[in-house]
Structure 1
Amino acid sequence: MNTLFGARPAAVQSARGRHFGFHRPLLAAIAIVLSGCMPATTTTRVQADPADPAVPVARAGYRSTIAPYSSLRPGTPAPWRERNDSVTPQKPDR
């Protein structure tokens, strides 16, 4: 049963590849010929002169790339000897 799931798409793929392989160069040639018939695109909007100081311009904004950063370094060293002694296993009393 599982072999049928793989065999059917493989057969369709091979048949599809043979069918469209012949037409690809023809379709590419038609696309190139038709692209020569397309009108040149032009902008209908009037462009403002960049040297004109009266033209309104969007304001330049500034965003810091490290704005949410806060240092996580401790200010002073912690009392390490007391901390170390509090977590060490105690010696059994005999």
Structure 2
Amino acid sequence: MPISDLVTSGENLFSAISGDQVSDKVKSNISDGTAIVALGLSILQRNTTFNVDGVVTGATQTLNGLTATITAVKTPVASSAVTHAIAGGA
């Protein structure tokens, strides 16, 4: 189960929003929490009929998409590119 990918995506989203990196202390706490979440999800997977791996993968992709969107919003573009796009240029 790709829990570490989900955690990394969450850390990347935090960094994109805040502009800061996750501190070592927080990373340590996240690591502890990840172990608990992984255990809980493995128990859930045994007791449910839906695709838990698919849910985790989808959540990871969603976080990655949010990070890409926020990064794009924060990235300035040259004014000529903006004018060209508004004018309907290719």
Q: Provide the TM-score with structure 2 as the length reference.
A: 0.29
More contact order relative to length (CA 8 Å, sep ≥ 6): 2
Q: Provide the TM-score with structure 1 as the length reference.
A: 0.28
